[in-house]
């Protein structure tokens, strides 16, 4: 299977991730640390539009997916790091820190995408 085609379908499936976010569990596809829900929908809309429709060459789609997955991992780590730092600065404050199954599923999805496009990227692999 063409890796660019798979990644393009992954981005075209973004509305399914939106439905899962709305109906089942938040933060499955992307976590925005500062908690504004409209940022999640802007992020997903950009992924859906750019990854699904704008970029057509496999190299461009893979580079976009590499960048997007890196940003997504950074946001996930930041969403875990910021509450821990706020607890360290003010131990008496009520900070809701959550890390559970949903965050692990989120990490698994993003890590799989990141590794898939990294090792299958035509810029890195000359025989792909």
As a whole number, mean pLDDT of residues 63-87 equals: 87
Q: How many domains does the chain contain in total?
A: 1
Query: Would 127 be classed as within a structural domain?
Result: no
Query: Would 104 be classed as within a structural domain?
Result: yes
* Per-residue pLDDT at 39: 87
The more confident residue out of 113 and 51 is: 113
Query: Would 70 be classed as within a structural domain?
Result: yes
Query: Would 125 be classed as within a structural domain?
Result: no
Length of the chain: 128
**Helices 58-89 and 3-12, interaxial angle, to 10°?**
50
CA–CA separation, 86 and 28 (whole Å): 24
Query: Would 128 be classed as within a structural domain?
Result: no
Angstrom distances, CA of residue 114 to CA of 14, 19, 69, 71, 78 = 16, 23, 5, 10, 17
* Per-residue pLDDT at 67: 92
Query: Would 75 be classed as within a structural domain?
Result: yes
Query: Would 82 be classed as within a structural domain?
Result: yes
Best CA proximity match to 63, nearest among 74, 76, 51, 53: 51
pLDDT at 40 over 70: yes
* Per-residue pLDDT at 112: 93
Say what the pTM is: 0.80
pLDDT, tens digit (0-9, with 9 covering 90-100), for 99-117: 788 888 888 999 999 998 8
As a whole number, mean pLDDT of residues 4-33 equals: 84
Domain assignment of residue 51, given as a range: 3-120
Query: Would 96 be classed as within a structural domain?
Result: yes
């Amino acid at each position: 299977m063409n890796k660019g085609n798979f990644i393009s379908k992954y981005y075209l499936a973004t509305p399914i991730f939106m439905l899962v976010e709305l109906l089942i569990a938040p933060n499955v596809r992307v976590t925005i640390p500062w908690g504004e829900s409209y940022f999640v929908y802007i992020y997903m809309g950009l992924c859906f539009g750019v990854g699904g429709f704008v970029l057509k060459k496999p190299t461009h789609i893979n580079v976009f997916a590499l960048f997007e997955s890196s940003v997504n991992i950074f946001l996930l780590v930041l969403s875990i790091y910021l509450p821990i730092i706020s607890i360290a600065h003010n131990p008496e404050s009520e900070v809701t820190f959550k890390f559970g199954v949903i965050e692990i599923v989120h990490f698994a999805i993003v890590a799989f995408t990141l590794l898939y496009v990294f090792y299958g990227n035509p810029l890195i692999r000359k025989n792909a």
